[in-house]
Structure 1
Amino acid sequence: MNKRLIGLVIISIILLSSISAVTADEDKSYTINLSDIILTINADGNVNIEECYQYTFNGEFNGVYRTIPLKDGESIENLKVFSSGAYSEYEVTTDEDGNYKITTYLYSDEDYTQPIKDTTVTVWYEYDFVGLINIYNDIAELHYKLWGEEWDEGTEKLNAHIQFNSSEGIEYWINPYYLSSNESWNGSELNIYTGELSAGEFLEFRALIPLSQFNENPTYAYIIDSNGREEIYKIQQDYENSMRYLESFSYLYPIVMFLSLFIPVVTYLRYGKEPKIDYDAPYEHEPPTNDHPLFVDAMFGTRESVGVISDNGIQATILKLIDEGILSLDDDGEEGISLVLNNDNILSTIEDYEANILNLFLKYGEDGRINLKNLKRNLSNQFRAREFESEYNKIKNDYHEKYINPIYDSFFRDKGAKIIKYYGTSIVIVSAIVLGCISMDYCIAISIVFIFIGAIFILLNNRYGGQWTVEGRMKFEKWQSFRRYLNDFSLIKEHPPESIVIWNHYLIYASALGNADKVKQAMDDIIPSNDLQNNNIYRYHHHGGSLLFTSSMNTAHSESSSKGGGSVGGGSGGGGGGAF
């Protein structure tokens, strides 16, 4: 299994474990066992509301709160709050968004000093809701959320009782229309019973009421000088049509999503299967080609996607310049080591990309010296890190344009990898849209799963779904055989390079392939120490140059990226509440 995929799995397990640990540490919780709401509609337009919530608390709590959003022209008057199972007092606040908040403090003692703990408490709210009834020229409307989306916890059961002056001529809707509820009339009272309502759900009641049920001048209603009946019919019909479309979609959604998993499978079978080659050697005892270390890193390294230059390739290029005498090594004592440019004029004798790399690092040195500890300190500054990263990426892009692009298609085809990434992006977008639009539990679960699956496909490098050409695979396999040779200490010991010069050559390519430590270890064991003391490439690794370079690059990468609503569901009331 690919290391990146293993990493994703490990991270997921850690995150899930962390969530479990947080849950386990949470030593208090509560449930709302019953929500009972009574609305009494008066002829003057006032609506008297009584709300009753039964809480069961596990652990210590200080109280509960209830928020009620208010629209223009609406107000809460004559509020009373009662409790059973605890002593209580309350306060009312209104925020700038128009939310009316009732905070009820609950106590276990009559002196109002001790919080409640492990008990059941019932809290009643009674108030007049002024401006809740809309009076049109042809009809009156009650549009009210019996349960709002802002509750922190769901309720196990909700009962609602709406008392009209008469049941005659009443038309009503319960939104969302698919929500399971039982309704019955008892004279002029409409009773609504539902099962469990989750946090984030809403239950909305809308009724058209004949104007005859109100006074000629309903003081406490909100007057709208237009006809309302046909507009409300249209709103509800449009809503129900859209919900039916969503309902049909929700049935097809899981089928389509699971069937879509065949896309990456078929893509791999079509574009990702590697061609057969006539090569099966387990080891190569010397570099199979004379390509630049930077090229070997980009095309035949295994840490990144094919064609992507990594820090390994840049470091291998620096080692190559040390080997060629362009750079030498100075021991700076406690300050580590410095790379020293032997002659300014010598830059004109090397490849352009090599000169660009050197000039970049020399900008963060002094007098032709690059102290690797100072390099990290310089790149700890965000401005310098961003400046460095910009030039660093330009060097890599220029190299890619000149040396990799011309041969890329003859070595590797990434059409399948692109299809898999497009697929991953598509299912993440679709799943996120569904997650935001459909509240059915199974659709939410499927969306979360497919967002995770899509993210994995997006993060996979182009080796998944991509395909080597015959030529490309032959070279790749040979370089991997050479890499296995470098990793096999016993084999190096049995077939060592013939001279220190060849050892240096191997160490350069080992850096590009990401296993320089193995070669250094073999050099320690096989080559006499006297021969190593004057070997600058060996000394570079021995004195921690590789670690300092990697740390400097990680610092640069990290610092440069651091961050220097009348439609359905728009009814009045609702809001939410919680405990604290």
Structure 2
Amino acid sequence: MLTICLVSPVSAKYSLEEAETHITVNPRGVVHVEESVSYVFDGKYIDVHRELKTLPGGSIENVEAHFSDKECELLIEPIQDGYRLIGVLPDPTPERLTFHISYDCYGAVKVYRDVSELNYKLWGGEWEKPLKKFKGSVMLPVKNESEIRYWIHPVDYTREVNVKNDVILVRTDEIPSTQWYEIRAVFPRIASPNPDLVQVDNAAGLEKILAIESEYQKKGLILEDLYSATILFALLVLAFPLFIYYLYGREPEIDYKAISKKEISADSKPAVVNAVMKGNMGIPTIDGFTATIMDLTNRGYISFRNLKPEEKDSSDIQEPGSRDFMVELPDNEKDPQTGRVSTELEDFEEDVLSLLKAHASEGKISWKKLEKELQNGQDSYKFSIAWSKKVQAYTVFDKFFQSTGNVYMYWFARLVLIAAIVYYILITGFFPSKAFPLTSKIYVLTASIGIYGFIMTKYSNAFVTVFGRWTPEGSLYYKRWDNFKKYVTDLSALKKHPPESVEVWDSYLIYAVSLGVAKEMLQNISQIVPPEQIKRSRFHPISCNYYSKSGYEHGNTFSSSYQGGDGDGGAGNIRGGFEENSGIE
């Protein structure tokens, strides 16, 4: 057993170019070993250490060593289990150096009742660098090659092996770092074995050895089959998403005629538009909540006005770029036109109105105060969850989008992940990588499959547009509102086809908020609509904030603390994924 330890600067490097091990077993069973290791140095090194350790019940004698460079000094120190050989290198360190060692091993041969056995590591597993090539020979005390049986472990690194008379010759390709390489040879029993020279076991050994080697070979064949199966499974894992996409991910072809970019469906709730276009599988974002407040304002259930001087706080006076405004609410939910209690509000709209009333004092509350109370309120999160569920139920998202393929992919990915973990554990337990190097390739494949399963499971929402698809109704709905979004954010289109009145602008702004493009629309309004006309808008206080600060953002700042859904999550992916396939100009 050999060990190397190189003491050198961090910047220095070395490599193991070649090694040879030549073993001669004499008729008495004493093993004579001659070894050489060739190094290539890049940098300055102080010394080279090698350790020779005895096998259990054996000993090492007659140790000799020398270097190819005569200027190297050699020290041989006895240690508890053998010897330490230290080669002190000259300065400068030679670029190439070969270390030659020879010694006799006692107890390396085991003599059974029927045969003799040599089980020896030609190359130890303690080396920190890979060995580029190895050459070895084992000479046995036999008359001809028919008396020899031998096995190489692991066979994967062997390039060539053959027997000539009484010598086994072996050559290898590169042996990785920390990897051992050994030979087991069986030959006729040594007559009158000396326990001082060999290990003696009076039991029959050949049958046991053949059984061990047969088991090893069977495992090797099984592992080759498992490797092929792993490759096929990896290909299946890669092909399955394509199959799911083909069945469930392709967008349906619909007869789509140009829809007016200015068209707004009378029954389109802003929260629903937001849930479909920006939300996560029908769950609205905070923009849907804000758009609902504005829709209630546009329908007369709420009103906005500028603050009176006595209603302004000191911070609003000191910071003209952060103007506040007042939100006013009626005492009941009567229809502002008929005077009767309204039956037109959906449950999620009534919840928003009730929430504002709960925070209002004498039917009014400033936007800033509302914002602070929503940020600090302990029930805000519960409300947002309940409200989002009501919008989701009202939306009936399944009629717009089919996520069946994504559901299949999610569960397939979970099964792949679990299977990869279990498979990795089983392979590790039954096929150690040092004895079966092919296991390392299976490790890589299995780990890759497991990582794939983990990513597809954890980020399944990111693939919803790949493995899901819009229904014909959903595709038409999306294209209609995508056209509208492009219209309100396109200054040239607005100039060419401006809305007929400020009231229409107000309706457009509600849906611009719902679609997350309110800032762009307000920027366009500022270049098209005269300020005196904007004053007639129900949302004039909001537009004042836009003009006085950096845009509509201030009027919507409370939304960050009142998130009803993940605006950057899965529904955003639905939107983005559809745009790639919509063909809308």
TM-score of the aligned structures, taking structure 1 as reference length: 0.61
- 1:542 corresponds in structure 2 to 551
Superposed displacement of residue 238, structure 1: 2.6
Name the Cα RMSD after superposition: 6.1
User: Contact between 1:43 and 1:215, CA under 8 Å: does it hold in 2?
Assistant: no
The DSSP-based 3-state class of the residue aligned with 2:246 is helix
Counterpart residue number, 1:162: 138
* Cα contact 1:154–1:197 (8 A) shared by 2: yes
Q: 286, 306, 321: which is aligned to 1:314?
A: 286
Aligned to 1:56: 40
Asked whether 1:247 is paired with 2:224, we answer yes
CA distance in 1, matches of 2:383, 2:52: 57
- Per the alignment, do residues 280 and 350 of structure 1 end up closer, same or farther by CA in structure 2, a change over 3 Å counting? closer
Aligned to 2:475: 473
Query: More relative contact order in 1 or in 2 (CA 8 Å, sep 6+)?
Result: 1
CA offset at residue 90 of structure 1?
9.0
CA contact (8 A) 1:413 1:466 kept: yes
Alignment partner, residue 181 of structure 2: 203
Counterpart in 1 of 2:258?
281
- Equivalent residue letter for 1:408: F
In our comparison, the structure showing a higher alpha carbon Rg is 2
How far the C-alpha of 1:159 sits from its partner, in A, is: 0.8
Q: 1:461 to 1:514 in 2, by over 3 A?
A: farther
2: CA distance, partners of 1:168 / 1:239: 23
CA distance in 2, matches of 1:549, 1:80: 84
Q: Quote the Cα distance in structure 2 between the aligned partners of 1:477 and 1:69.
A: 78
Name the CA distance, whole Å, in 1 between partners of 2:74 and 2:240: 61
Does residue 174 (structure 1) correspond to residue 152 (structure 2)? The answer is yes
Aligned residue for 2:392? 404
Q: 1:427 to 1:87 in 2, by over 3 A?
A: farther
Match of 1:300 among 273, 277, 282: 277
- Is 1:513 aligned with 2:497? no
Query: Closer, same or farther in 2 for the Cα pair 1:549/1:216, shift >3 Å?
Result: farther
- Give the partner amino acid of 1:194: T
Residues 521 and 177 from structure 1, CA distance in 2 versus in 1: closer, same or farther, beyond 3 angstroms? same
Structure 1's unaligned 5+ residue stretches are: 1-25, 360-365, 379-387, 558-580
Q: Whole-Å Cα distance in 2 between the matches of residues 346 and 129 of structure 1?
A: 103
Residue identity (%): 23
Give the Å deviation of 1:77: 6.7
1:184 pairs with 2:186: no
Distance of aligned partners of 1:534 and 1:254 in 2 relative to their CA distance in 1, 3 Å threshold: same
Q: Is the 8 A contact 1:169 1:210 kept in 2?
A: yes
Once the two structures are TM-superposed, the CA of residue 149 in structure 1 deviates from its matched residue by: 6.6
Q: What is the DSSP-based 3-state SS (H/G/I as helix, E as strand, rest coil) of the residue aligned with 2:96? A: strand
Three-state SS of the structure 2 residue aligned to 1:241 is helix
C-alpha displacement of 1:452: 8.3
Q: Give the structure 1 partner of residue 406 of structure 2.
A: 417
Matched, 1:120 2:96: yes
Query: For residue 317 of structure 1, what is the amino acid of its counterpart?
Result: F
Deviation at 1:522, TM superposition (A): 1.6
Summarize the alignment of residues 131-530 of structure 1 with structure 2, pairs less than 5 Å apart.
142-147=118-123, 153-166=129-142, 170-185=148-163, 188-199=166-177, 203-208=181-186, 212=190, 215-218=193-196, 229-251=206-228, 254=231, 257-258=234-235, 262-281=239-258, 284-288=261-265, 295-301=272-278, 306-307=281-282, 313-318=285-290, 320-321=292-293, 324=297, 352=351, 369-370=371-372, 398=386, 401-404=389-392, 407-422=396-411, 439=438, 459=459, 460-497=462-499, 503=505, 506-507=508-509, 509-528=511-530
Judging changes above 3 Å, is the alpha-carbon distance between structure 1 residues 107 and 463 closer, same or farther for their aligned structure 2 residues?
A: same
Secondary structure in 2 matching 1:53? strand
Q: Counterpart amino acid of 1:171?
A: R
Distance of 1:370 and 1:71 partners within structure 2: 78
In structure 2, runs of 5+ residues without a counterpart are 1-9, 308-312, 334-347, 359-367, 432-436, 567-585
| Alignment correspondent of 1:565 | none
